[in-house]
Chains A and B, each alone.
Chain A
């Protein structure tokens, strides 16, 4: 079980010794009663589902690499991974903040409704797929099919994007600084407005990244797929 810690509102778990279930159980059911608001996790060693489904204002620091679904469904909590994340980091996040200091595997931030996901390194394919309102800031580049069918929210990409960026976008907006290998169906470059530049500046500021917002391009939906056209013959 968890160590007693000299800092009264802090608790440390070592996953080389403590079970993942104990860690997640503590954060869900015990932390509030014990007055604990800060959790340190050592030796995550690629474990799945660390800090999943949190629903409290906890600060979780994970020291190492994590596996699938870290901070999935997060609400209110701030989760920092001092390492790389496996597939589905912060998927379905509702609010709060998730910060991956290394790289993130596929489908980071998938379907996230709210909150902020920061990835300092690269994100793999399908970053922000079906995004529903969260913000994502990627310090590096993103893989193919990122922001596929993204419905709401904003994605800031400081590096490059691979193929089919923003395919079948709805109302989400993408800001990309580097090269885009290809845009997906119905995604288009649009002029940056003052509001866009202010948005990028704010999100970069929240992520602690320094770039000139003027270097970013805006990608949004051309909305030609919003309505079905009988004469399009399925050619889009």
Chain B
């Protein structure tokens, strides 16, 4: 069992409240996912020359300003870092692939959580409320977000196994359910040069969809391909810099409820995570139908 939450605000004026609106949604899904939590928030994009890299150091104390110095010594481009505790967002004009490769080689204790121009990613083990507090989720701002609370059923409880999973740039996915053929998917993707970080089933789905996106699919077409390639139970919630998408498998064993108003689209595994939202009584409520793709763009 796991909990998923998603929120997209339709009016730019509401972007400053994104985190505050979301925290009770995430905490509301604690019973469905008490062991880990995470979220991807999509902010206003950095400049065209820049990328943002979300970094996580776990239990290791990292001297982030020193890391910035090292990065700046290696890469002549302009670099900035915004750090809080064991998490930092590194913004750089350097080539993101080269920068990630350098980080992986020189500071292997630091995990790269996401790369993109809009996405910031946070995930950790622990109770959702503690994680929300730890990373100041309430103060997060942006246009949309994808969140998850995890109750592990098929692989270990570690920060790397927590959701969201990311692949490529500005793409993330969370999952409630379990896939029965993740190893087949992985065997198919690895010969294409696609590398995996964990043995988690959701990572296989995430990398499958991101591969389809790179092959030229739009997100909906990628999900259509998933219907024949991914076997198992799932409610997937995905984000790109422009889009929020939800889809459930043909059996729809894993729940989801959508609430839509003129101001927002809010998605959760259960209504109890939506009940606090402003003017929820006026919202259009529905459950996504099996194998029907629902998406919203900013």
Contacts and interface: CB of A to CB of B under 8 A. Distances in A.
Interface of A: 43, 45-48, 64-65, 67-68, 84, 86-87, 102-103, 105-106, 124-125, 143-145
A65 B253 contact: no
A105 B287 contact: yes
Contact of A65 (B252, B271, B276): B271
Tell me the interface secondary structure of chain B in the complex.
loop
A46 B287 contact: no
A194 B262 CA distance: 50
Tell me the interface secondary structure of chain A in the complex.
loop
B275 A65 contact: yes
Contacts of B253: 106
Interface residues of B, number: 17
A125 B275 contact: no
A125 B290 contact: yes
Interface string B268-289: 0011111110000000011101
A143 B290 CA distance: 9
A106 B252 contact: yes
Given A45-B275, A46-B275, A84 B285 contact: yes
B270 A46 contact: yes
B255 interface: yes
A102 B273 CA distance: 18
Contact of B252 (A64, A102, A143): A143
Contacts, number: 47
Q: 4 closest A-B pairs (Cβ-Cβ)?
A: A46-B272, A46-B271, A45-B275, A65-B271
A45 B143 CA distance: 26
A23 B265 CA distance: 32
Nearest to A124: B287
A86 B255 contact: yes
18 contacts: A46-B270, A46-B271, A46-B272, A48-B272, A65-B275, A67-B270, A84-B285, A86-B255, A86-B270, A102-B285, A103-B286, A105-B287, A106-B255, A143-B252, A144-B250, A144-B251, A144-B290, A145-B251
Contacts of B274: 46
Interface string B235-265: 0000000000000001111010000000000
Given A65-B285, A103-B287, A105-B287, A84 B271 contact: yes
Contact of B271 (A43, A67, A143): A67
Contacts of B286: 103
Given A84-B285, A103-B287, A143-B290, A124 B252 contact: yes
A103 B288 CA distance: 13
A141 B285 CA distance: 16
Given A65-B275, A143-B290, A125 B251 contact: yes
Contacts of A64: 275
A106 B272 CA distance: 16
Contacts of B271: 45-46, 65, 67, 84, 86
Contacts of B270: 46, 67-68, 86
Contacts of A102: 285
A125 B272 contact: no
A166 B289 CA distance: 19
A125 to B, nearest CB: 5
A138 B286 CA distance: 17
A125 B250 CA distance: 10
Contacts of A144: 250-251, 290
Contacts of A65: 271, 275, 285
Contacts of A45: 271-272, 275-276
A48 B272 CA distance: 9
Given A67-B270, A125-B290, A105 B275 contact: no
